[in-house]
Chains A and B, each alone.
Chain A
Amino acid sequence: MEMDWYLGLSAVLFTIGVIGVLTRKNAIVIFMCAELMLNSVNLTLVSFSAQLGDVHGQILVFFALCVAAAEAAVGLAIIIAIYRNNLTVDVTRINLLRW
């Protein structure tokens, strides 16, 4: 099993995440697409770690998971606060700070 298939899968998942972030309007879905991109980067790290037989890539994935958990908690709290003020999570209608 060649390793570049794993990298290709990771690239495809990352691109789907990018397209989701750029096209969707719902803030929660945009946030989930960001999680998808983080996860595809984790897949890249794990596949390089498996290729090299090195534990450090997996340690980095572990810390990335911790940061993703913290980011999810804070980001969802921000989304709730925005919803309380605007009664919407549509990012095209949250334009207070937009130029």
Chain B
Amino acid sequence: METYIFILFATLAVAAAIGMITSRNTVNSALFLVLNLISVAGIFLLLKAQFLAVVQVLVYGGAIMVLFLFVIMLLNLSDEEQMLSKFSVRYAVGFFLGVIVLSQLLYAIASITGTLPQIHPEMERVGTVETIGDALFTVYMLPVLVTAILLTAAVVGALLLAQRKISGKVDK
């Protein structure tokens, strides 16, 4: 049963990823990415990481993708014409490097396969909000506070970068 659920989510994730990089319309790409993120959240659930599955849907599928869609709406982009119609060195090099990366990754995985056991029995306890919160607010207290500073800096930086006055010379 678990295998079938994994195959369902994995197929969905890979198909959505391929759809994302092949669709002309940017909005379609963003929606395919949402589908991909949600299926990866399902795989997190299969790995008994409940907290991360919920956070994945909320933060990635919710907040970040809404931000992407807002920016796409703001820029009002038209569809790309001639995305794959003519052959160029760019696509050949990109595809070639992609195949190299995939073969390296699969080679690295194949060298350790067979030594990997099943899901650890401790995972029933480890993936819950309780355990993660316990670790976050005791051992990892300082990194959590640094993350707060990082997010504040990101908000301030984003506001500063996206404000109108900074691009003074072009007024169209």
Contacts and interface: CB of A to CB of B under 8 A. Distances in A.
A83 to B, nearest CB: 5
B151 to A, nearest CB: 6
Contact of B101 (A2, A7, A15, A84): A15
A82 to B, nearest CB: 9
A85 B53 CA distance: 39
A36 B154 contact: no
Chain A residues touching B, majority SS: helix
Nearest to B71: A76
Interface of B: 2-3, 6, 10, 13-14, 17-18, 20-21, 26, 29-30, 33, 36-37, 40, 43-44, 47-49, 51-52, 55-56, 59-60, 63-64, 67-68, 71-72, 74-75, 77, 80, 83, 90-91, 93-95, 97-99, 101-102, 105-106, 109-110, 112-113, 116-123, 126-127, 131-132, 135-136, 140, 143, 147, 150-151, 153-155, 157-162, 164, 166-167, 170, 172
Given A33-B21, A70-B153, A80-B162, 16 more contacts: A8-B109, A9-B10, A12-B14, A15-B101, A15-B102, A22-B90, A24-B21, A24-B83, A28-B30, A32-B20, A32-B68, A50-B127, A59-B140, A63-B143, A73-B67, A73-B157
14 contacts: A3-B116, A3-B117, A8-B106, A8-B109, A13-B17, A16-B18, A28-B75, A39-B37, A53-B120, A58-B49, A58-B132, A63-B143, A69-B154, A73-B67
